[in-house]
Amino acid sequence: MPAYRRILLKLSGEALMGDDAYGINRATIARMVAEVHAVTKLGCEVAVVIGGGNIFRGVAGGSVGMDRATADYMGMLATVMNSLALADAMRQDGLTARVMSAIAIDQVVEPYVRPKALQYLEEGKVVVFAAGTGNPFFTTDTAAALRGAEIGAEVVLKATKVDGVYTADPAKDPSATRYSTISFDEAIARNLQVMDATAFALCRDQKLPIRVFSILKTGALMRVVQGEDEGTLVHV
């Protein structure tokens, strides 16, 4: 049995790029889907929020000087593109996925409706939440915290390129050590950048723990779901 029955997996768009400059690396997304598929076989219910940086990076130069709200809406559309690609990769791997968008694009994806999302999770489907919160000025980190709280997730899993939260930047300081666990208050006191401030505060207020781990490590998601010491657990 998994240690967590229901999780919210937060993926950055950059995680899909692999070694590419932008866009989606097919081998990378297939590997991630295989890891998600493996944990669903344990009986774990999985919801996903994905960023759009990998898509938006390709047009970032043209967004210089653009109105912030307009740029944020473009970013939301990028997350829809990523969500469709992820759901299609899941379909090809034998998983059933449903994409639910916070902005209305009815011809392409379903609108986000909380009871419907809960129904899908209970049926064993993977739910991919697209378009962030549907509002500019809020990141997909905040969307992950919000959707995680709404669906009753037991933990938000933030999949990054670093295998946890460290005392310092491990790329710059070889002596930096990884926290196995750390409290929200201590993370704030030490000014550790776990998530953006709004998302972090929401998780703290809702007593929703965050597990930061590396999506680049094979089998890391499985180890997290099984309750092993993988990454860093941020808790109340």
- Tell me the pLDDT tens digit for each residue of 62-101: 566 788 898 899 999 999 999 999 999 999 999 999 999 9
Q: What is the mean pLDDT of residues 123-127?
A: 98
Q: Is 169 annotated as a binding residue?
A: yes
CATH of domain 6-163+209-231: 3.40.1160.10
Q: Is 41 annotated as a binding residue?
A: no
Q: Is 213 annotated as a binding residue?
A: no
Q: Is 57 annotated as a binding residue?
A: yes
* Mean pLDDT, the chain, whole residue set: 92
Q: Is 58 annotated as a binding residue?
A: no
Query: Between these two residues, 208 and 171, which has the higher pLDDT value?
Result: 208
What is the per-residue pLDDT for 166? 94
The token pair that represents 129 in the structure block? 């939440």
Which of 106, 108, 113 is CA-nearest to residue 83?
108
- pTM higher than 0.85, yes or no? yes
Q: Is 133 annotated as a binding residue?
A: yes
* C-alpha Rg value of the chain to the nearest Å: 17
What is the per-residue pLDDT for 64? 65
What is the per-residue pLDDT for 22? 80
Q: Do the beta carbons of residue 202 and residue 49 sit within 8 Å?
A: no
Report how far apart, in Å, the C-alpha atoms of 26 and of each of 34, 54, 73 are: 12, 13, 25
Buried-exposed string 62-79: b where 16+ CB fall within 10 A, e elsewhere: eeeeeeeeebbbbbbbbb
Q: Is 63 annotated as a binding residue?
A: no
Q: Is 53 annotated as a binding residue?
A: yes
The token pair that represents 74 in the structure block? 């473009």
Residue whose tokens read 């993926």: 11
For residue 60, pLDDT over 60 is answered with: no
Give the pLDDT band (50/70/90) at residue 174. confident
Q: Is 137 annotated as a binding residue?
A: yes
What is the per-residue pLDDT for 57? 64
For residue 129, pLDDT over 90 is answered with: yes
Q: Is 191 annotated as a binding residue?
A: no
